Structure 1
Amino acid sequence: MSELDVAGLQRRLAEFAASREWQPYHTPKNLAAALSVEAAELLEIFQWLTPEQADRVMEDPDAAHRVADEVADVLAYLLQFCEVLGVDPLAALSAKIDRNELRFPVGRPPGRSARATEAGDRHSSE
């Protein structure tokens, strides 16, 4: 059975945890901590690589497997975290993109939000 949608994956993760009686440990704090640890493990793969080496990391089958496993771990903990707190991850992402489109309009220099630019414009005209 292929459940490659967010809700289906969340159900599979919940069933996996329930069958092992792990639910008492799946608190928001513990899941956030686990998510952070797994993200750090993903970063560790790239820690000492040059930008060029990092761009080619998926060409090495062993490194590609490690990256895929860590991505899976990060996503699993994020989906479990969202499930426990009742956050719809796709809706949250869509809303964040909407806010970022307003905050960082096309044509603004990188690193300058609309608010920072507007504040700078106000100060330069005073």
Structure 2
Amino acid sequence: MSDLIELRDRMRAFTEERDWAQFHDPKSLILALVGEVGELAELFQWLPADSAAARVQDEPLRSRVGEEMADVLLYLVRLADVLEIDLGDAAMRKLSGSASRFPPDDVRGQAPEKA
């Protein structure tokens, strides 16, 4: 069983045990996801870009970043479940398509105009 499927199943059970599925319509889940991304962004808002990765190695920032990233992942997994989208498969297809659109020899060292 893949990690994403296990997360999906655990999120489903968590939701069902609390009778929260009634609140998990796509719009509400997307808004919750955006809120969590905002909380993650807030942790980086005033960090200098050239030292952000190094600063995240230290506590308590490391734990906070991990918590917010987990929230983002869990809401995304729940949204995919509600919409019946195989998130792992969709990600693999997207990565394959990007590999075709951005051949390494053509784009190495260049930021893509559209990912």
TM score, norm. by length of structure 1 = 0.81
Percent identity over the alignment is: 35
Partner of 1:48 in structure 2? 46
Unaligned ranges ≥5, structure 1:
114-126
How many residue pairs get matched?
111
How far apart, CA to CA, are the structure 2 residues paired with 1:29 and 1:16? 20
- Please point out which of 54, 57, 60 is paired with 2:58: 60
Give the drift of 1:17: 1.1
CA-based RMSD of the aligned residues comes to: 1.7
| TM-superposition CA deviations, 1:23-51 (whole Å, max 9, x none) | 01101111111111101111110000002
**Unmatched 5+ residue regions in structure 2?**
none
**Alignment partners' CA distance in 2, 1:11 and 1:31:** 17
RCO comparison, higher one (Cα < 8 Å, 6+)? 2
The C-alpha deviation readout for 1:46-80, integer Å capped at 9, x for no partner, is 00000233121232211011001001100000000
The runs of at least 4 aligned residues of structure 1 exceeding 3 Å deviation read none
Match of 1:15 in 2: 13
Residue of structure 1 aligned with 2:89, choices 73, 88, 91: 91
For the residue of structure 1 that corresponds to 2:27, the secondary structure is helix
Corresponding position of 1:107? 105
SS of aligned partner of 1:108: helix
Larger radius of gyration: 1
Task: Name the structure 1 match of 2:32.
Answer: 34
